[in-house]
Amino acid sequence: MQNPLTKKVNNIINLDYKKEDDIWLQKSKTLRKLIGILGMALLIALIIITFLFFDLARPIESISHYYYTRAGTVFTVILSVIAIFLIVYSGKAPKDFYISTFAGIFALFVVFFPTGNLSTECCDTLKAYSVTFINGNASAGFRETFHLVSAALFLLLLAYMSFFLFTKSNKPKGQRGHKKVIRNRIFRVCAVLIVLSLIIILLGFTGVIDANFYIGNQLTFWMETVAVEAFGFAWLIKGEAIFSDNPEFMAMSAVEE
């Protein structure tokens, strides 16, 4: 016999060995919530750690550059876990699986091929927060380009999922629940924010936006922040952490996807 506390915990995470492979981490909604939480927590964790260790009053050049700080392990682990969850996630149709899997692979590429060094030399006293340095100028150009392309494709695929896949439903527009309508609006807004953020970064990199204005206002970091938080929030909503349908409505109709 299980004690009440153990039984309660098992019920919360759906740990039921009477049903084959019915474990909480394999549930679609659980994966969605975890991806959303990790996505939104990534930036917060990076800023808190670098502030505590280096007293940085403002963020650094980009989220990817935190790889070179003492928070590099946090960046690597969280992004890798997100990637693995995206690869494991199956969704409700083959397209969901393939899109999320490719997004997860590109997320792993972001980790495996870091962006450019924070400093031009190892142990730069002017940038004491940079504790990692990658030698090898010959491969630096390819690595940085591959990193940028992978990061862009990772976010674009997540934007695609949010705009086109998360908004799908087995009901016509007029028959969808009120909260489903709200969720769809949020999904589309999040997708648009991701795409707009990437466009602004592209305009900054190509010189369309004045370099002094772009760099001075750290637009790479802030646009990446908008994109990452938007993607995390969309997945959190998709996991129905908030704006979930009430039990009565769910009992009367099939779950809207």
Residue 176 structure tokens = 């969808």
Q: How far apart are CA 181 and CA 90, in angstroms?
A: 23
Band of pLDDT at residue 256, cut at 50, 70 and 90: very low
Give the whole-number percent of the chain exceeding pLDDT 70.
88
Once rounded to an integer, what is the mean pLDDT over residues 171-192?
A: 90
Task: Give the pair of three-digit tokens for residue 240.
Answer: 């129905």
Among 49-53, 54-58, 170-174, 231-235, top mean pLDDT goes to 231-235
Residue 170 banded pLDDT, cuts 50, 70, 90: confident
Q: Which two tokens stand for residue 24?
A: 């909480």
Where is pLDDT greater, at 87 or 28? Answer: 87
Average pLDDT over residues 217-227: 96
Burial 52-69 (b: 16+ CB within 10 A, else e): eebeeeebbbbbbbbbbb
Closest CA to 89 of 150, 33, 42, 169: 33
Asked if residue 254 has pLDDT above 50, the reply is no
pLDDT at residue 14 in the model: 60
Cα distance between residue 126 and residue 109, in whole Å = 30
Confidence of residue 251 (pLDDT cuts 50, 70, 90): very low
**Angstrom distance (rounded) from CA 15 to CA 12:** 8
* Closest by Cα among 39, 61, 28, 33 to 194: 39
**pLDDT confidence of residue 247:** 55
Highest mean pLDDT among 22-31, 100-109, 113-122: 100-109
Q: At what angle do helices 28-54 and 219-238 cross, to 10 degrees?
A: 150
Judged against a pLDDT cut of 50, whether residue 249 lies above it is answered with no
Count other Cβ atoms within 10 Å, centred on residue 113: 18
From 6-10, 113-117, 208-212, 233-237, the region with the lowest mean pLDDT:
6-10
CB atoms within 10 A of CB 213: 10
Which of 154, 46, 73, 171 is closest to 108 using CA atoms? 154
pLDDT at residue 16 tops 70: no
Summarised one tens digit per residue, pLDDT across range 68-103 is 998 999 999 999 999 999 998 988 888 999 999 999
Q: What percent of the chain has pLDDT over 90?
A: 59
3-class state of residue 253 by DSSP: coil
Q: Is 3 helix (H, G, I), strand (E, B) or coil?
A: coil
> For residue 77, what are the contacts with CB-CB under 8 A and spacing of at least 6?
none
Res 138: pLDDT: 67
Q: Residue 12 burial by CB count (10 A; 0-12/13-18/19+): exposed, middle or buried?
A: exposed
252 — pLDDT class (breaks 50, 70, 90):
very low
